[in-house]
Structure 1
Amino acid sequence: MKDFSLLLSEVLQKGICVGCGMCAGVCPKHCLAMDWNILGQYEPQPNSISECISCGLCIKVCPFYEHGINEDGIGQKLFSVIPNIKHTEETGFYLGAFAGAADEETRLNGASGGAVSWLLKKLLEEKRIDKVITVEPCANPEKLFRYTIVSSPSDVDRCAKSAYYPVEMSGVIREIMAQDCRVAIVGLPCFIKAVTLAKSFFPKLRQNIHFTFGLVCGQGKSRMFTEYHIVKMGAEPQDVASFTYRKKVSGFPSSNYAFEMVDVSGRRIRKMWSDGIGDIWGGDYFKQKSCFFCDDIFTECADAAFMDAWLPEFVRDGRGTSLIISRNSLISQLFSNSGTYTDIPAEKVIESQYGVVENKRGFIRYCSADMDVTLKKRDFSLPLSGKKIRLLQKKYKNACFVHQALAQGDGWIGRIDRRVRGSLFIRLKKQIKQRLKQLLGK
């Protein structure tokens, strides 16, 4: 009970639980269960807390509890002894970096260039792993996506697309701990950190989890982010049969994709990123508070990290292109020998995600000093202008406003709409003013 109280006071009450579910997954007495809170985020709820034996595992595997070791320390233990390993402040350790895309079918079906799906299928086909822990879509409006365990290349294809939706891994972790198999797991940086922490306490996880693959992450969104867009697209959340976040549209660059919803009647509705979705995303509306206090962009604890190629030479190709950071010699070899992926300097990989680096690490360095969260404040050399710092502060206020609007209940969409319109109007006024000055030569 004492350890759950620590989890409650140091993580949950501070609002920095990311909802990964590892605490519930490893609890030997099943004292915790993951459920939705009023913000549309997962968090552990007391299940049979009277059975708690104060083992401390729930807090020991939490990626947002201050353990005294950050990603630098974890990466040092995992990767520093690998021959020819390199290191940058932004990426952590790395062996190599690659750019490219999978075969056309995998590429068009997956996120960015389909590199994660290509690699997972390759590992299954070569019998280097038996199963994959990944995220699949669900035909359930209360849970549109969930973690699952798959064992065939066709199932990997079914799970290929991006999901900007909360998921938790308590169930799949319990399942894998009860099996003897070789597994690869795909997750966000905080999830992979939780897996890495758990492996240090559970020999079964060390034995079974052979590869960890991370997805470069700028922020996690609550469930209400999706429900907001469902309503704005002219439907109701309870009527949704499926939701796609990265529908590639012919004739558009890879940075302008569509959200696509299919309702229970089969009606298909599409909305482009440029039609307002980007304003909600970029304004940090519906962003989880924990994400403001995470400085891991390139999944520094993972064997490889995957991301979109947000670079001028790639972004015009609407089919998508992947960039990969590898920290594993086998993974590097597979990409090097693929014939479709080429080496790329790590500096180009960092450049492709530099906006995310500025947002995440800039907030922690310049905006979080007076907040009751001391987690992971690594000292990065990241000079930012006063204008950029004020923008980061505004984004945090946007996220807090959404939390308040959701807590107030009915009418939250209208309250958020008014704030978004106000922000867009202010931005438009500034742009007009700047343009007039240019025209008048002032």
Structure 2
Amino acid sequence: MNVVDLIVKNDYCIGCGVCAGVCPSNNLHMDWSDKGELIPKLNDSCKDKCSICLDICPFNNHPINQDDIAESLYANIPNINYNEYAGYFLNCYVGFHKDEEKRIKSASGGLASLFLASLLEEKIVDKIICVGNFGNEDRMFDFGILNDPNEVYSCAGSAYYPVEISRVLKEIIKEKEQLTYAVIALPCVVYALRLAMEKIPKLKKKIKIIASLTCGQLQNRYCTELLALESGIKIDELKKMDFRRKSPKNSAANFLQVATDENKNEGVPQPNQELPFFLWHYHFFKQNACNYCDDVFGELADVTFMDAWLPEYVKDYKGTSLVITRTPLTAKILKKWQHTSTIDVEKIIKSQSGVIHKKRTLVKGRLYKSTFSNQFFPKKRVLPDKKIYDKNKEFIELTFEIQKLSKKKWIKYRFNNSTDEFWNDLTRINSRIKRYTKEGKLQSLLKTPKLLFKKLSGMI
């Protein structure tokens, strides 16, 4: 049994590439699936009794989970705190990069890029592993190794696109120099790296700091193609995608998405909040593994960065960062920066309340649905819950259907000159979304007088 047989075939692979990067027989390589997702594929038959690919897969079932690993990493640090959702933490911060140009170019407030650049400038690590556009013809974004702060800033910004880390891990394992690294990745990749570091001492020695970004879900590459075509750039001409261009006319949450072709011609900027069907909310092109993730804040990372989705910050189009530190070193670095101050962890939780609902509440309903499949599904820290499923059944079933249907339909229309035929083919789903949204608004209106009465009568 290997990761292809168990995880990929059951559609739980997130495509992180850690398995292919650490396979001792070099028997796995990462490639595109027909769903527009990166998956490991076998080069040859596996060796008997080798299970390392499954041992480090973040969506396999393990004898230890994120809570166990986090406890071993952080529980004994002096003055450490704990929150049910954020995990262990020393301090929480809010702020932005003092250089306005770097702040605007970055995702949120630019503190993640500043942190990584500082690690190089202060010689805390030798190199940085992060996601950027490194000229790979087959992949718009990829993990790369950087050793200059300016290179770090050139990779600033979000990449809502599948990436995998196998090539980088192979380089680290093979190299003979005693170099140290910092990695920034999504929570699922962080989990896989922590598992791999326990199996491969060389990785544990070399990876000195792990940073994470908060994550709600990951779409496949078809989503990027749709965004490009909405922007007016054909798929076979697409060269670059700017997922989060900031505009003084918009709030931080209504960033622009702009595609660029091979001749450096830009398409029409598409405001995030005006895209058809609310792509993210209704899980168009979502990778199935994300339905079974319960880590919002990268609980196994030494430091976590996210957007300040709070009323007092979101109006500033330049963006503002929130940060959770879990080690004395990362906390020390944050304390030195201008335009950065501490913030209560409850504010951090509030800023990501929608993602928490998705990954800590709705996941219980999805797990309950999976108990009837008679197939393997990942066990999580939360348990299957029939009440959650019954309460959210319509949304859960609707989004599962959208997830599958959007991938299937896009294959037919991806090389068209526009997205019109794709959306026309989804008319039935569009009607269901409109009906569900209308019913949700009506229920909200019905609840408002009851909540107001309770508040006035002192019941809440």
Letter in 2 for 1:413: F
Moved more, 160-169 or 103-112: 103-112
Structure 1 match to 2:369: 370
Per the alignment, do residues 394 and 79 of structure 1 end up closer, same or farther by CA in structure 2, a change over 3 Å counting?
same
1:380/1:343 CA distance change after superposition, 3 Å: farther
Matched, 1:21 2:21: no
Equivalent position of 2:402 in the other structure: 398
Could you say if the C-alpha distance between residues 437 and 203 of structure 1 is closer, same or farther in structure 2, counting changes exceeding 3 Å? closer
Matched position secondary structure for 1:268: coil
2:83 is the alignment partner of 1:88: yes
Q: 1:313 is matched with which residue?
A: 312
> Does the Cα contact within 8 Å between 1:32 and 1:49 map onto a contact in 2?
no
Does the 8 A contact of 2:185 with 2:213 survive in 1? Answer: yes
Q: CA deviation at 1:430?
A: 4.6
Q: Is the 8 A contact 2:131 2:142 kept in 1?
A: yes
Q: Residue 235 of structure 1: CA displacement? A: 2.2
* Contact 2:294–2:359 (Cα < 8 Å) also in 1: yes
Aligned positions, number? 433
Give the TM-score normalised by the residue count of structure 1: 0.91
C-alpha contact (below 8 Å) 2:228/2:258 kept by paired residues? no
The whole-number CA distance in structure 2 between the counterparts of 1:36 and 1:75 is 32
Equivalent pair of 2:125/2:208 in contact (CA under 8 Å):
yes
Q: What are the superposed Cα offsets for residues 99-135 of structure 1, whole Å, 9 maximum, x if unpaired?
A: 0001222211110001110001111101011100001
Residue 150 (str. 1) matches residue 146 (str. 2) = yes
Unaligned runs of 5+ in 1: none
- Cα distance in 2 between the residues matched to 1:415 and 1:47: 40
Aligned mate of 1:222, from 214, 220, 223: 220
Shift of residue 276, structure 1, vs aligned partner: 1.2
Shift of 1:140: 5.3
1:78 to 61, 73, 77: 73
Amino acid at match of 2:181: V
Is residue 2:168 matched to residue 1:172?
Answer: yes
In 2, distance between residues paired with 1:130 and 1:279? 41
What is the CA-CA distance between 1:435 and the residue it aligns to? 11
1:393, CA displacement in angstroms? 3.4
Structure 2 CA distance for aligned equivalents of residues 221 and 196 of structure 1 = 24
- SS of the residue aligned with 2:298? coil
Structure 1 residues 3-46: Cα deviation after superposition (integer angstroms, max 9, x where no partner) = 42xx2343112110100011110011110100000111011101
- Give the stretch that moved more between structures: 364-373 or 185-194: 364-373
Over the residues paired in the alignment, what is the CA RMSD in angstroms?
2.7
Alpha-carbon shift at residue 280 of structure 1 (Å): 0.9
Cα distance, 1:125–1:138 mapped onto 2, change above 3 Å: closer
Structure 2, unpaired ranges of 5+: 448-460
Of 35, 51, 57, the match for 1:56: 51
Match of residue 256, structure 2, among 236, 255, 258: 258
Which of residues 403, 427, 430 is equivalent to 1:421? 430
Residues 142-291 of structure 1 aligned to structure 2 (within 5 Å): 142-179=138-175, 180-269=178-267, 270-276=269-275, 279-291=278-290
Q: Residue 320 of structure 1: SS of its match in structure 2? A: coil
Residues 131, 184 of structure 1: 8 Å contact kept: yes
The AA in structure 2 aligned to 1:77 is: S
Q: CA deviation at 1:277?
A: 5.6
The structural deviation recorded for 1:437 is 9.6
**Contact 2:181–2:209 (8 Å) recurs in 1:** yes
> Which of the residues 104, 107, 124 maps onto 2:103?
107
| Whole-angstrom distance in 1 between the partners of 2:335 and 2:284 | 39
Partner of 1:282, secondary structure, is coil
- For the pair 1:123 / 2:119, whether they are aligned, the reply is yes
Aligned to 2:40: 44
Please state how far the C-alpha of 1:390 moved relative to its aligned partner.
3.1
| TM-score, normalising length: structure 2 | 0.88
